[in-house]
Amino acid sequence: MAKTTLAYTCSNCGASHKKWAGRCETCGEWNSIQEEAPLAAGPKGKTLGANKGRKIPLGDLSTVDAPLPRGLSGIQELDRVLGGGLVPSSAILVGGDPGIGKSTLLLQAAASFARNGQKAIYISGEEASSQIRMRAQRLELADAPVKLATETNLRDILTTLEDERPDIAIIDSIQTMWSDHVDSAPGSVSQVRATAHELTTFAKRRGVSVILVGHVTKEGQIAGPRVVEHMVDTVLYFEGERGHQFRILRAVKNRYGPADEIGVFEMTGMGLQQVTNPSALFLGERDNPAAGSIVFAGIEGSRPLLVEIQALVAQSSLATPRRAVVGWDSARLSMILAVLESRCGISFAGLDVYLNIAGGLRISEPAADLAVAAALISARQDRALPKDTVVFGEISLSGALRPISQAENRLKEATKLGFSNAYAPSRMKLASESGMNVQKIEDIAQFVENCFGTIEQ
């Protein structure tokens, strides 16, 4: 009998080790190394090369395939994030914190696809059928021809899907599924890897779109390592701040469409409702101009989005003043504070700084730099900018403003929402200013001078 050697894998970074250890040498994480079942040996246990394989047919790049037909759910925010609908035989991972609304979204999507004439199967390993039916009833989806099952055994699920041949199969969640080929508990790295692999290969082989739900661990990764992300075609994250009703569906990887596209939803008593004009919603809570509050004209995916950036600056009682950020990168905040200090002489030493993106949104665009700087100075000086002003531009370490993309779209959206003034980088050609009064700014010192005058220390 062939000798079976056990493999050990780190559940944090995915590195494999020859023997168990308390700490992973690759990523330094403690207690993350788990035992894994060995891979099955090849025919008669021979190594690769000893058996001759089958010759695979090779094609060339010039072959023209018809454009991929896509299935539309009718939920436009979802279809757009998918890159214009669901591609047949694709595998999609929807990740998010527990309780954020993944099951609700996918039940609504399944019902929508089914009402559009596609055959949809929803398999839950987490909730009882009666619970799901009750939710469907409450969301008025009970009449949709969705097929429902509660099961965790992958072999039974694949046999059922093979037999039923649906267009879409939803597996909620991948962490509850188990395959009897693998000798470890559901949710472990090897189970998640094996079940996701079988489901994605099934999707390709049988032309079924498979949507996997994945819970995110506290480190923000799906099932520990990013084992599932590279296997699937599309990775969507469903995110939102607790206490806020907004939920954002973000494409972080998409083989069939642009990544970084977002869909905005609102969690209501009647499930998730689409928000088709998110700018109006994110600015909805603004009334009078307040010091420290600046409107940033951003772009999320293909869509312009106006958001409010709020800053608060207060005397610190700590030896190391606090820098707290929600919805933005804290390293970037430190950079902006350093640039303000060394290029404009505006010091935040001895002051606590709080930065918040309103509405629970998370921004990663560097174009928000200027708006953040404006919010910080406005808060420090206790002076508000006029209410009808939007700001955008990337700040380089020299203090110069760098040009950014899609300025026209940003201005157009701002005009639509009643704004009339904009501060934008000067090194940028604008095809149209959309009737806005655009102040072209060379560097951060000029911006401070224009908006706030001379700043006393």
98 annotated ligand binder = yes
Pairing outcome for strands 437-441 and 421-425: parallel
Buried residues in 395-406 as b, exposed as e (16+ CB within 10 A) = beeebbbbebeb
Instruction: Name the token pair of 240.
Output: 């939102």
Q: Which residues bind ligand TYD (CB under 6 A)?
A: 96, 98-104, 135, 139, 267, 269-271
Q: How far is the CB of 128 from ligand TYD (least distance, A)?
A: 13
101 annotated ligand binder = yes
Residue 152 makes contact with Mg ion by CB under 5 A: no
| Residues 6+ positions from 99 with CB-CB distance below 8 Å | none
| Residues 6+ positions from 245 with CB-CB distance below 8 Å | 266, 267, 268
Q: In what order do the strands lie in the sheet with 147-150?
A: 147-150, 120-124, 168-172, 209-215, 91-96, 234-239, 246-254, 262-268, 271-274
For ligand TYD, the closer of residues 135 and 402 by Cβ is 135
- Dmax (CA) for the chain in angstroms is 83
For ligand TYD, the closer of residues 132 and 194 by Cβ is 132
For ligand TYD, the closer of residues 68 and 139 by Cβ is 139
Q: How far is the CB of 272 from Mg ion (least distance, A)?
A: 13
User: Interface residues for Mg ion in 355-384 (CB under 5 A)?
Assistant: none
Q: How far is the CB of 271 from ligand TYD (least distance, A)?
A: 4
For Mg ion, the closer of residues 222 and 357 by Cβ is 222
For ligand TYD, the closer of residues 22 and 99 by Cβ is 99
For ligand TYD, the closer of residues 100 and 372 by Cβ is 100
Among 85-93, 99-107, 178-186, 428-436, which window interacts with Mg ion (CB under 5 A)?
99-107
Residue 99 binds which entry of ligand TYD, Mg ion, none, with Cβ cut-offs from 5 to 8 Å by kind?
ligand TYD
Residue 101 binds which entry of Mg ion, ligand TYD, none, with Cβ cut-offs from 5 to 8 Å by kind?
ligand TYD
In this structure, what are the phi and psi dihedrals at residue 92, rounded to the nearest 5 degrees?
A: -125, 135
Residue 271 binds which entry of ligand TYD, Mg ion, none, with Cβ cut-offs from 5 to 8 Å by kind?
ligand TYD
Q: How far is the CB of 179 from ligand TYD (least distance, A)?
A: 22
Residue 175 makes contact with Mg ion by CB under 5 A: no
Q: How far is the CB of 356 from Mg ion (least distance, A)?
A: 28
Query: How crowded is residue 28: how many other Cβ atoms within 10 Å of its Cβ?
Result: 11
327 annotated ligand binder = no
What's the half-sphere exposure (Cβ side, CA atoms, 13 Å) at 422?
A: 31
Pairing outcome for strands 293-300 and 303-315: antiparallel
CB 176 within 8 A of CB 192: no
Q: How far is the CB of 130 from Mg ion (least distance, A)?
A: 15
For ligand TYD, the closer of residues 215 and 410 by Cβ is 215
Q: Identity (one letter) of the amino acid at 7? A: A
For Mg ion, the closer of residues 175 and 254 by Cβ is 175
Residue 103 makes contact with Mg ion by CB under 5 A: yes
42 annotated ligand binder = no
For ligand TYD, the closer of residues 43 and 99 by Cβ is 99
Instruction: Name the token pair of 111.
Output: 């019902």
Residue 269 binds which entry of Mg ion, ligand TYD, none, with Cβ cut-offs from 5 to 8 Å by kind?
ligand TYD
84 annotated ligand binder = no
d(CA 242, CA 236): 19
Residue 96 binds which entry of Mg ion, ligand TYD, none, with Cβ cut-offs from 5 to 8 Å by kind?
ligand TYD
Using CB under 5 A, count the residues that bind Mg ion.
1
Q: How far is the CB of 199 from ligand TYD (least distance, A)?
A: 18
- CA dihedral (376, 379, 380, 383) positive or negative: positive
Q: How far is the CB of 242 from ligand TYD (least distance, A)?
A: 9
Among 95-103, 329-337, 408-416, 425-433, which window interacts with Mg ion (CB under 5 A)?
95-103
Among 50-58, 98-106, 272-280, 388-396, which window interacts with Mg ion (CB under 5 A)?
98-106
382 annotated ligand binder = no
Q: How far is the CB of 153 from Mg ion (least distance, A)?
A: 19
Binding-site residues, please?
A: 96-103
Binding-site residues for ATP, please?
A: 96-103
Q: Where along the sequence are the contacts to Mg ion (CB under 5 A)?
A: 103
